[in-house]
Amino acid sequence: MPTRQCPHCGKEVFDQMTQCPHCREALPAIPQIRVNGTRKAEGRGKIRQGLLCVLLAGVVHYFAGGYSLMQLPFPIQPIVTVYLSPLLLLSGLGLSFFGFYLQRTA
C-alpha cells in the first residue's frame, strides 16, 4: 500500500489516512493532477496531421499527374496518381475526422 510522509512529525503513514496515527494531526489532502485538455489537444494534433496529409496528397497528385508546366527530370509511375495519392488523401481525411471526434468527445 502506498505511503507518504506526515508533514508534522515526518513519519510514514498510509496515503489514504486523513489523520496521522503518531501525532494525531490532520493530514492535508493529496493534490490530484487533472488532465482535462490532453484529449482535446491530441484531437487538434490529429486534425493538423490529417490536413497536412491532404495537402501533401494534392501536391503529389498535381506534380505527378502532369498538371504542372514544369517538366520533372524523371518519370513518375502511374500507380502514384491512380492509387497512392488518393489513398493519402483519404487517409488524411480519416485522420482529420478522427481528430474532430476526439475533440467532440473530450
* Statement to judge: residues 28 and 46 lie in one domain: no
- pLDDT class for 40, splitting at 50, 70, 90? confident
Residues 93-106 as b or e (16 or more Cβ within 10 Å = b):
eebbeebeebbeee
> Among 2-16, 20-34, 59-73, which is the least confidently predicted range?
20-34
The whole-angstrom separation of Cα 70 and Cα 65 is 12
* Statement to judge: residues 61 and 92 lie in one domain: yes
* Statement to judge: residues 100 and 60 lie in one domain: yes
Q: What are phi and psi of 19, to 5 degrees?
A: -140, 135
The per-residue pLDDT for 36 is: 61
- Residue 90: is its pLDDT beyond 90? yes
Mean pLDDT across the chain: 90
Q: How many domains does the chain have?
A: 2
**Helix, strand, or coil here: 5?**
strand
Domain containing 58 equals: 38-105
* Statement to judge: residues 23 and 43 lie in one domain: no
